[in-house]
Amino acid sequence: MVASNTERPARLLVVEDDMSIAMGLRINLEKEGYEVIQASDGEDGLEAAITGSPDLVILDVMLPRKNGFEILNELRSRGYTMPIIVLSAKTSEMDKVAGLELGAEDYVAKPFSLAELLARVRAALRRATIATAKAPRHIVFGDVRIDIDAREVRRGDQVVDFTQTEFDVLMCLVDARGKALSREAIFRKVWGQHHHGTTRTVDNFLQQLRSKLEPNPAEPRHFHTVRGVGYRFDA
């Protein structure tokens, strides 16, 4: 079974509006041992890339609501580094260059060989695993430093006591930096869609994050309430 550096099957996001291609990819990727999540338009694809924590994205260019290049550009501009393989019926050199310059790991022209695509997926995941192993994984904002691998949070020189769930809520927001997340999206990400509870739980955890990490919890600089939506992390 193919595994990521967290010892679980690598999670792949397929963003493709042609259902026959999407289902074919899903069936064959799952046969290879990957976990597969899907989206059929650009807006849902961007949301899934941010909240679904995929290890790799297979991204069509011609999508409704938001095209693949827009998704690619937005993910890279927000600091997301997972490998992204672009699929496109556009085969001109200019289109390939555009995709690669926006940060695509690879560019595969349609129609494509399934065996070749699977080989490119394996190679991209290997490169990502090596790069992740070499790179320190820290996030810094204000006087806060997060060590992702150690799951440790510091303010200045002091370690801040965090429960497992508090840390998961923190990383859910930090991973989506700059993007407003609904309470429902945070709840699904942290507790799972089958967990019994209410989104009010999210409000309580946000209050705890603010009390521990904001200079003035009553006037938050980093963990903002987005009226009618949910919350957004800014740094």
- Strands 11-15, 56-60: pairing kind: parallel
84: left (phi over 0), alpha (psi -120 to 50) or beta: beta
> What is the maximal distance between C-alpha atoms in the chain?
56
Question: What pLDDT is stored for residue 68 in this prediction?
Answer: 93
Domain segments of the chain: what residues?
Answer: 11-134, 138-233
Q: The tokens of 183 are what? A: 């309470």
Average pLDDT over residues 107-118: 90
CATH class of 11-134: alpha beta
Confidence of residue 4 (pLDDT cuts 50, 70, 90): very low
Question: What pLDDT is stored for residue 103 in this prediction?
Answer: 87
- pLDDT above 60: residue 1: no
CATH code for residues 138-233: 1.10.10.10
Question: What pLDDT is stored for residue 43 in this prediction?
Answer: 94
Question: What pLDDT is stored for residue 2 in this prediction?
Answer: 44
- pLDDT above 60: residue 137: yes
CA quadruple 215, 221, 225, 226: dihedral, nearest 10: 180
Query: What would the pLDDT profile of 14-65 be if each residue is shown by its tens digit?
Result: 999 999 999 999 999 999 999 999 999 999 999 999 888 899 999 999 999 9
